Amino acid sequence: MNDSPKKAVLYARVSTADQNLDTQLHDLRQLAAQRGLEIVHEYADCISGARSRRPGLDELMRDARRGRFQVVLVWAADRMARSVKHFLDVLDELQRLNIEFVSFRENLDTGGPLGRAVVTIVSVVAELERNLIVERVKAGMRRAKLEGRRIGRRPLNVDRDSIWRHHVHGRSYKQIAKDFGVSKTFVARIITEKKKLVPKGFVQLPSEVTETISTGSVA
């Protein structure tokens, strides 16, 4: 009889860099110890739940297909997948590979049919909650638009011709950006647009020079 502990891996995910993975991993390590599991690897992602690419989860699934562990522990069901369909696809593949899925927050284990059914229900509720949040945000934006309130950043009110003149006078992008209180990227975009309007081979002179030539007051 083989009494060696099952090999387990941990998966944790946060949405932004200012959030901390340590809390999730601490709880999962304790859960693994309580169940007598041997942790062979820990996977983590710092990415939005809506994003399709997750390097940590992708690596976990590759190792699962190689038979490197028997149990996956996650802090919560909604940390695992980006949608209900994706979550169920992950569970189906793990089940096909004879790998158990355990969720700390929901206290669920797919080792039995009841656990799988409950996890599915929890995932549906989590997806519904996410959709409701999105709909509330959209409704708020629609209401603000109807009330005439501006949504997003106010557009820059900058004299683009003046930016071009500064460029013609030899000012650097950095200097122009500082003068007008805008970014160098914005300055570069304006100058690029202006250059397209200048005929090929035409040399743009500073306004002082053109005025001197037109009045014939050259010394």
> Who contacts 116 (Cβ-Cβ below 8 Å, separation ≥6)?
91, 95, 110
The two beta strands, 100-103 and 38-46, are unpaired
Tens of pLDDT along the chain (219 residues) come to: 567 899 999 999 988 776 788 989 999 999 999 999 999 999 999 887 566 678 999 999 999 999 999 999 999 888 887 777 777 788 888 988 999 999 898 888 887 777 767 767 766 776 777 788 888 888 888 887 777 776 666 556 778 888 888 888 888 999 888 888 888 888 898 888 888 776 655 555 555 544 444 455 544
Contact 88, 95 (CB under 8 A): no
Exactly one of 4, 15, 83, 183 is catalytic; which is it? 15
Q: Where are the domains of the chain?
A: 7-130, 160-215
Percent of the chain scoring above 90 in pLDDT: 26
Question: How do residues 130-140 score in pLDDT, each as one tens digit?
Answer: 788 888 888 88
The pTM of the full predicted model, rounded to 2 decimals, is 0.52
Examine the residue annotation and report whether 4 is marked as an active-site residue of this protein.
Answer: no
CATH domain 7-130 topology? Rossmann fold (3.40.50)
